[in-house]
Amino acid sequence: MAGKSNYLENKVLDHVLGVASFTQPAARYVALFASGSGPGEAGGGTELPTAAGYARQSVTFGVAVNGVSQNLGDTDFFAPGGAGAPIGTTTVGHFGIYDALTGGNLLYFGDLATPKTITTGDILRIPANGLSVSED
């Protein structure tokens, strides 16, 4: 289950209530955050460092059913490695869904069901249907 950012809450309200139109993002990207430092409604958190080889990954969602939409395919993240990589291991505990590969606006955020400790050479995979976004 994911939370919705203040940015997206305001855009949806304005759109639905006829204040301003909201154009859907051209793409969506999943970001990973260190355990204990995930984003909240206002953003923030400690995203893994891009200098260490990490990058947000594109994600596509299916049509919502009963207020829930899930990712359609596997989304793989490679563990930071090489020059600038953190020493030791990195524990990932949170995710964010953004409208841009870098920067951009946080749309949704949440906790991983089980934090994942990764080291150089590991892959963190979010399997198809493993990432759910819901509205209630």
Tally of CA atoms within 13 A in the half-sphere of 96 that contains its CB: 31
**Per-residue pLDDT reduced to its tens digit, 11-54:** 999 999 999 999 999 999 999 998 888 999 999 998 987 766 67
DSSP the chain: --EE-HHHHHHHHHHHTTSS--PPPS-EEEEEEETT---BTTB-S-BPPGGGT---EEE-BPPPBTTEEEBSS-EEEEPP-STTPPSS-EEEEEEEEESSSSS--EEEEEEEEEEEEE-TT-EEEE-TT--EEE--
The pLDDT of residue 91 is 86
**Per-residue pLDDT reduced to its tens digit, 42-65:** 999 989 877 666 789 999 999 999
User: Could you tell me the residue range of the domain that residue 43 belongs to?
Assistant: 3-134
The residue among 65, 3, 71 whose CA lies nearest residue 33 is 3
Count structural domains, the chain.
1
Tally of CA atoms within 13 A in the half-sphere of 61 that contains its CB: 20
Does 5 have pLDDT greater than 90?
yes
**Per-residue pLDDT reduced to its tens digit, 75-121:** 988 765 554 454 457 788 999 999 999 999 999 999 998 998 887 77
The pLDDT of residue 36 is 84
The residue among 46, 26, 28 whose CA lies nearest residue 37 is 46
